[in-house]
Structure 1
Amino acid sequence: MSSGIGRRRRAAQMGTSNVSYHERRQQIFEAAGHVFKKQGFRGTSLSDIADFMNTDRANLYYYVGSKVELLDGVVSDPVRANLERAREIRDSDLGTKEKLRTLMVELMESYERHYPFLYVYIQENLSQMQGRDATWARSMRDINREYERIVVQTVEDGMKEGVFRSNAPASVIAYGIFGLLAWTSRWFDPKNAPASAQAVGVAYADLVLDGLVVRN
């Protein structure tokens, strides 16, 4: 029976004319994001998502095959887009200071644009995923590592240029920046945040750069 549902699900997902199917699938993704944010990815079951939507688990299987498929469907494209944008910033003609500022502001804006999905993603320990899920998790970790390297390299470049202070390793500064932005997952909600994501990103970038930039 489950394989039959799987075949029907794959066929429906391949069809572009079934508008109602794809709309319902999107509703499930949005519901999953809210439940994941509240209970955590590992603490949520498909039954929890079905309950949130006032439906049953069997009905969900026609639209999604697993929790990881839900997480993949809402975070993979934004995460890859963030990496591509980071590459563009790295390779741009901006000065090192502006590169770091832009990376911080745009990452915060991405958290708002894809709320709450990227917050769910950064709160999860991908190394704990097993089996087929682990393959997806490894690909996401590879993206994370490249993004981290870009930020570390940006800080390192600023230190070599004499623009940034060198009183701590570049990796320490970079991971501090990630921690500062990631902590917004504890309080930032676009519907009732005290400031927009752009304003938060700018404020945090000013805070970091004020302590990092060498004063002549």
Structure 2
Amino acid sequence: MSKVSNISRRRRSAQTEGGADYTAKREELVRIAARLFKEQGYQSTKLAEIAREAGLDRATIYYYVGSKEELFRETVEGVLDDISAEAKRLLADQSLTWRERLHAIYVRLMASYEENYPATFVYIKEQMHEVAAEESIWAQEIMRKTRAFDQVLINLIREAIAAGELRSNIPPRLVEHALFGMLNWSHRWFTPGGPMTGAQVAEAFWSIFIDGMNPEKGN
């Protein structure tokens, strides 16, 4: 049995057993990887650099993770699941108007960017197109989840327009690009601990958006 396959076997065993120290080290590696991906770019970051930042040598890191791609997947998958579940919950909440539901998920999304910084920004910045081009089962599943989340957002916008809560003379897809494009572009400048929280940034953007989307304008 080769050294690499032996390490892989030990890694799978350790992941199954889930010891506290092992889990903590993997979580540290995910955090370090996300930071380096944000600072240097995913393609430019080497697994050896991640290992060095974590105090491991190149061989030892394979006891915790199988590849750089595995670290990237862990940085984004849980975040996407959480925000998608919240969006679906809000979509079904009939105690709120459509506009209130759209507002709630908008603010929650930016708060999630802050809470999970910089993992989500790595995905937004440079990985969406690469994931879309992959043919792996994981990549296909991530794109399925991304498209499902997008469908929830566009449905919220369409329902708000149909209910007369947003102006109707702008195509829903353009509304979505304008509104959520503001949030996604924040990867260029937003960092936690700045003068505004993620929620405050979202509220400021929302106030700009909702004034322009007032149904009394342009109908």
Q: Does 1:85 align with 2:86?
A: yes
Give 2:17's match in structure 1, choosing from 15, 18, 24: 15
* 1:46 CA displacement: 0.6
Q: Which runs of 5+ in 2 are unaligned?
A: none
- Counterpart Cα distance in 2 of 1:112 and 1:146: 22
- How far off its partner does 1:58 sit? 1.2
CA contact (8 A) 2:113 2:121 kept: yes
Aligned to 2:126: 124
The residue that corresponds to 2:188 in the other structure is 186
Backbone CA RMSD of aligned residues: 1.9
- Range with greater deviation from structure 2 (89-98 or 68-77): 68-77
Alignment partner of 1:165: what SS? Answer: coil
**Per the alignment, do residues 131 and 188 of structure 1 end up closer, same or farther by CA in structure 2, a change over 3 Å counting?**
closer
Aligned CA distance change for structure 1 residues 127 and 138 (closer, same or farther; 3 Å): farther
Q: 1:189: how far off?
A: 1.0
- CA shift in 2, pair 1:180/1:110, >3 Å: same
1:153 match: 155
Identity %: 32
Distance apart, 1:69 and its partner CA: 1.1
CA distance in 1, matches of 2:145, 2:98: 22
1:50–1:57 CA contact under 8 A, matched in 2: yes
One-letter amino acid of the counterpart of residue 62, structure 1? Y
Letter of the structure 1 residue corresponding to residue 33 of structure 2: A
Tell me the SS of whatever aligns to 1:202. Answer: helix
Indicate yes or no: 2:199 matched with 1:198.
Answer: yes
Structure 2 distance, partners of 1:111, 1:190, is 9
The farther-off stretch of 53-62 and 203-212 is 53-62
**TM-score w.r.t. length of structure 1:** 0.92
Shift of 1:52: 2.9
TM-score (norm 2): 0.91
Quick one: which amino acid aligns to residue 214 of structure 1?
A: P
1:118-168 superposed Cα distances (whole Å, 9 cap, x missing partner) = 111112334435998732121111111111111111111121122211222
| Partner residue, 1:141 | 143
Q: Report the counterpart of residue 212 of structure 1 in structure 2.
A: 213
Asked if 2 retains the 8 angstrom alpha-carbon contact of 1:109 and 1:197, the reply is yes
Query: What are the ranges of 5 or more consecutive residues in structure 1 without an aligned counterpart?
Result: none
Q: 1:68 deviation in Å? A: 1.9
Aligned amino acid, residue 149 of structure 1: Q
Distance 1:95 1:112, change over 3 A: same
Aligned to 1:33: 34
Instruction: State the distance in 2 between where 1:51 and 1:105 align.
Output: 37
Aligned to 1:50: 51
Shift of the 196–137 alpha-carbon distance from structure 1 to 2, 3 Å rule, reads: same
Counterpart contact for 2:30–2:74, Cα < 8 Å: yes
Number of residues of Structure 1 aligned to a counterpart in Structure 2: 214
Contact 2:134 2:140 in 1 (8 A): no
Does the Cα contact within 8 Å between 1:25 and 1:63 map onto a contact in 2?
A: yes
Q: Which residue in the other structure is 1:108 paired with?
A: 110
